[in-house]
Amino acid sequence: MPFLQSRWLHVDMRSTWIEKISCDQTTEDKFEKKHHEEVKTGTINVPKNKGACVLENAIQLGGDRSRKRLKPSSLGHEQGFSKLPAKMPVETEFYELLGVHPEASEDEIKKAYRKKAREHHPDKNPDDPTAGQKFQEMAAAYEILSQVETRETYDLYGKAGVLGRGGPGPSMDAADLFAELFGGGMQFGFDFGPGSRGPRRSKGEDSVISYDVTLEDLYNGKSVKMNMEKEVVCGVCKGSGARGNAKPKPCVKCEGKGYNIVTTQIGPSRLGSSRVVCTDCEGVGERLREKDRCKKCKGTKTVKEKTRQEIFVERGMTDRQRIVLAGAGDEEPGIPPGDVVFVLKARHHDSFERSGNDLLTTVHITLSEALLGFSRILITHLDGRGVQVTSPSGKIIKHGDSILLRDEGMPVYKSADQKGNLYVLFEVDMPDEQWLKSVDAKALEALLPPKKPEMDPKPAVVDEARYEEVDIADFGEGGEGDWEDDDEDEDGDHFGGAEPECRQQ
């Protein structure tokens, strides 16, 4: 990355904050090389030679903080360079995401990212809805910290600097930064080459599609064919966007770089330089005249094409699991096409609830079955099979009891011969009042267990209470009534009462 004039370098030295170093062209390359070496070691060398650099806008942090111009000789060292400790990064969020210190080496950052990526990978955490977001945040952090140039920019200006805003802006979390940097989705194929205007993608963008599936689909598996539309490289111009042998001209505004350098104020008496995508050429660095553009693609280099894709929902797949069709995404000239990623979204099921490879269902039985046993088909399974269960006579099932049917749960993904378990929760349905009127109550009472005796000892005071049927969901609707805090200040401006006043003498 060329060392830009007026680039900001912050260093702390005793009571002086050196804000700006403006180097002439003769020492530019030497200073940049040495600067890159010292960033890794945590120190920054400030040249002392008057002919090399002029230190401007120094602010005295002690005393009256008055401004004055410092000469290089005023730094107090007679040797060629003065060793100064590097200023800590303005933000440490990305370092914290990877669990490393801001002064960590490249190898330490790489090892930390690999460890965190394995720990939070969505495929290893299918039941954690936040795993995908954490994985994206760590990928964004690593993309920035793994490159010397972008790491320097982040240390100086934070996330806003990485995005080319030239200075700190509104608060932004790592997930938002990831989306703004990489256009959303699980896309990690980027690099930051010298002279690049920002993240340069090493492959096309992925197309992420949400696909609804039923629990039956996940239990039995299915294949789906669907018509889609994607961008392909124009066959007429072969992706050049030009007509015939026409050649694009370098963009006049950015001089072919694809970006412009913008100076932005990032604080009182502090300026910062940043790269901004050229609006004329949209970052390409070159432009085609209207008459030189390809007639088919109109200079866009790609055209839409209808395709037919087939996906396989395998047995045992889970909600939010991804099916990746590698290379089936949009094409762009000069880079491999992206992927088509289907994200499964499991619908709610009326009869079964899934947790991992286990299933849970609720079965209603009669009072007679609860007391005397039964042998019948209790469940129609997800593959259409009937599941018969026998409860022997003499075994009483109470309301809320549950049983386990082994190997009747969901197939294990990639091991379809293995299955989880099926949990059955029983609810005992009491007979209605019409049935009670049709039987001899005295005879029924003689058959049923005896009623509970009176409370012993009996309370001294007993009130007869009337009851009415109610929905238990109404519990808590009564409210607690209005109340006032006697200690609360009327104007509410001061904690614990009015503001104290001075007594007049």
* pLDDT, tens digit, 9 for 90 and up, residues 344-380: 999 999 999 999 999 999 999 999 999 999 999 999 9
Q: SS in 3 state form for 291-352? A: HHECCCCCCCCEEEEEEEEEEEECCCCCCCCEEEECCCCCCECCECCCCEEEEEEECCCCCE
Residues 215 and 337 reside in one and the same domain = yes
Buried b (16+ CB within 10 A) or exposed e, 130-166: ebbbbbbbbbbbbbbbbbeebbbbbbbbbbbbbbbbb
In the chain, how long is the greatest CA-to-CA distance? 115
Whether residue 165 sits in one domain with residue 232: no
Which range of residues forms the domain containing residue 404?
Answer: 352-433
Per the domain annotation, does 474 fall within a domain?
no
In a domain, 279, yes or no: no
Determine, yes or no, domain membership for 314. Answer: yes
Half-sphere exposure of 432 (CA within 13 A, CB side): 1
The pairing of strands 402-405 and 358-366 is: unpaired
Same domain for 309 and 229 = yes
The verdict on 303 and 378 lying in the same domain is no
Residue 51 lies in a domain: yes
Tell me: do 213 and 335 sit in the same domain: yes
Predicted local confidence at residue 202, as pLDDT: 76
pLDDT value of position 256 = 84
> Does residue 260 form part of some domain?
no
Instruction: State the Cα–Cα distance between residues 137 and 130, nearest whole angstrom.
Output: 11
Cα 190 from Cα 147, distance rounded (Å) = 11
Domain final residue, candidates 196, 228, 253: 196
CATH number of the domain at 427, please. Answer: 2.60.260.20
Tokens of 166: 């030239």
Q: Given 58, 85, 112, which residue is the final one in a domain?
A: 85
Query: Based on the domain organization, do 343 and 356 belong to the same domain?
Result: no
Residues 159 and 117 in one domain: yes
Which residues of the chain have a pLDDT value below 50?
Answer: 1-86, 165-199, 490, 492-500, 505
CB-based contact 261:3 (threshold 8 Å): no
Per-residue pLDDT, 152: 85
Whether 63 is in a domain gets the answer: yes
Helix (H, G, I), strand (E, B) or coil at 372: helix
187 and 210 within one domain: no
Do 339 and 407 belong to one domain? no
Q: How far, in Å, CA of 176 to CA of 164, rounded?
A: 15
- Say how many domains are in the chain: 4
111 lies in some domain = yes
Choose one of 406, 433, 460: the last residue of a domain: 433
**315 and 399 within one domain:** no
Interatomic CA distance for residues 176 and 184, integer angstroms: 9
CATH at 177? 1.10.287.110
The answer to whether residue 487 sits within a structural domain is: no
SS3 content of the chain, % helix, strand, coil (to 5): 25, 30, 50
**Same-domain check for residues 192 and 63:** no
80 and 210 share a domain? no
**Cα 43 to Cα 161: distance, rounded to the nearest angstrom:** 21
Per-residue confidence (pLDDT) for residue 162, from 0 to 100? 67
